[in-house]
Chains A and B, each alone.
Chain A
Amino acid sequence: METGTPEEVPVVQEAREEDLELLPELVTHLRDRRSELREQWANRITNAHLLSAMTDEETFSMATSVYDSYVEVLETGSVEALQAYARDLSERIIPRGVETYEVVGIVLLLRDVLARSLFEKYQKDFDLLNRVLDAYEPAANRIANTVAVSFVRERERIIRQQQDAIRELSTPVLQVRERILILPIIGVLDEQRANQFTEQLLAGIRGNRAKVVVIDITGVPDVDSEVANHLVQAVDASRLMGASVILTGLSPEIAQTLVTIGVDLGKMNTVGDLQGGVEEAERLLGFKVIRSDAADNLQR
């Protein structure tokens, strides 16, 4: 996924050869008027209330880099440097909460500012102006596309990364005593995690030769009929493997809701909290916990 070669953004328009000859002149003009046009652009950004998440210094520094990259693309015809910059910029500003519409917005505003300055310069010669625009527009549009696509691709990369991290939040299988396992479930139990959970549960039962499993759902925010369905199936499968299941952590609200919907958890052994669940599991296996008189003095 992370390769050095930038993915190509397809070119939408092609400029004619004779028009491309005008580009060097355009580039010179944009470089000469750099300070003035950059300031015009910065004003437009502020008036449009874009990039409110960034400080003025940051916006200025970014404006300078984007302006220079913009002119460089017009000069060299290559978007590679721009792509690299856009990727780097996106990586920095996405965590700050900058949205796609802001990034696309500022690039389009720059496009407008530069186009207006070209109008101003070449307005006396309509034919020449048209040729200048014929050369400018394909390049300007390609730049806007490149920046927008880079930004969106970076967001998608971050999302994929986060999805992987979430998937890694696997359910730990904890052995507290011989033949007793605890499986705490944290977070939303969607189809994929439910399957992952069941797999780990059954593997844990086999691997630990467990006879009782305590499944704690304190950390599951909402239990509806689908989640209940997943749990029932996990419990049935566990039973097939010779382990009984104790379900703990069902809040009063969820219990009430499940009863109202009509979920039948009658086959399940449920206990209010985890401690109660573990005690019940121990009791089932014949363990007895006795407090001895010779207790260690715990250092405070």
Chain B
Amino acid sequence: MADEIRIPIGSDADVVTARRRGRELAAQAGFSASELTIIATAISEIARNIVMFASRGEILVSLVGEDGREGVTVVARDAGPGIPDLEQALRDGYSGYGGMGLGLPGSRRLMDEFEITSEVGKGTTVTMTKWRREA
């Protein structure tokens, strides 16, 4: 099976697909059941953000290895309106749409590494990685 998958995001159905396929790929790296749920949820939160704010984007999930440990990296990219105030967006409870507003800060807490770049008018890219906890 492949080490990397790309999922176009344009609708709610794509969020479900991204979650499912991301989980399947991560399972290959031997993550535990709870870790898989965490990864799937983080993908879901980010994917929903794309649908909500940018309408369209893509998510790349790839298996990574570093210094003998295995993990999975998720890159979510869109060419949407961008986030004017990153600090605000990363704060709990802030929501641009009247929901719980937990997408970004939530995903950040779920994953081990989290990076976000955004430019107003250009788009947003989120890169997050989870490393497998050794037994």
Contacts and interface: CB of A to CB of B under 8 A. Distances in A.
Central interface residue in A225, A256, A263, by most chain B CB within 10 Å: A225
B45 A225 contact: yes
A252 B107 CA distance: 18
A262 B102 contact: yes
A261 B45 contact: yes
Nearest to B19: A222
A37 interface: no
A60 B106 CA distance: 57
A257 interface: yes
Contacts of A225: 45, 48, 99-100, 102-103, 106
A53 B16 CA distance: 28
A260 to B, nearest CB: 5
Contact of A222 (B12, B13, B41, B100): B41
B34 A256 contact: yes
Contact of B100 (A190, A191, A228): A228
Interface in B44-65: 44-45, 48
A252 to B, nearest CB: 7
Nearest to B99: A229
A224 interface: yes
A261 B99 CA distance: 13
Nearest to A251: B37
Interface string B26-48: 00000001101110110011001
Given A190-B16, A226-B48, A260 B100 contact: no
Interface in A249-294: 251-254, 256-257, 260-263
Contacts of B45: 224-225, 261
Interface string B88-127: 0000100000011011011101100000000000000000
A222 B106 contact: no
Given A191-B12, A262-B109, A222 B38 contact: no
A260 B12 contact: no
Nearest to B106: A261
Contact of A260 (B16, B40, B44, B110): B110
Interface in A188-233: 188, 190-191, 222-226, 228-229
Central interface residue in B41, B92, B99, B105, by most chain A CB within 10 Å: B41
Nearest to B12: A190
B22 to A, nearest CB: 11
Nearest to A256: B34
A261 B110 contact: yes
A252 B34 contact: yes
B99 A222 contact: no
A253 B34 contact: yes
Interface string A31-48: 000000000000000000
A223 B13 CA distance: 15
Contacts of B48: 224-226
Interface string B74-94: 000000000000000000100
Contacts of A222: 19, 37, 40-41, 44
A216 to B, nearest CB: 18
A159 to B, nearest CB: 11
A251 B106 CA distance: 19
Contacts of B36: 253
Contacts of A191: 12
Given A229-B100, A261-B106, 8 more contacts: A224-B41, A224-B48, A226-B48, A229-B99, A253-B38, A261-B102, A262-B105, A262-B106
21 contacts: A188-B16, A190-B13, A190-B16, A191-B12, A222-B19, A222-B37, A222-B41, A222-B44, A224-B19, A225-B102, A225-B106, A226-B99, A229-B100, A253-B36, A256-B38, A257-B41, A260-B106, A260-B109, A261-B45, A263-B100, A263-B102
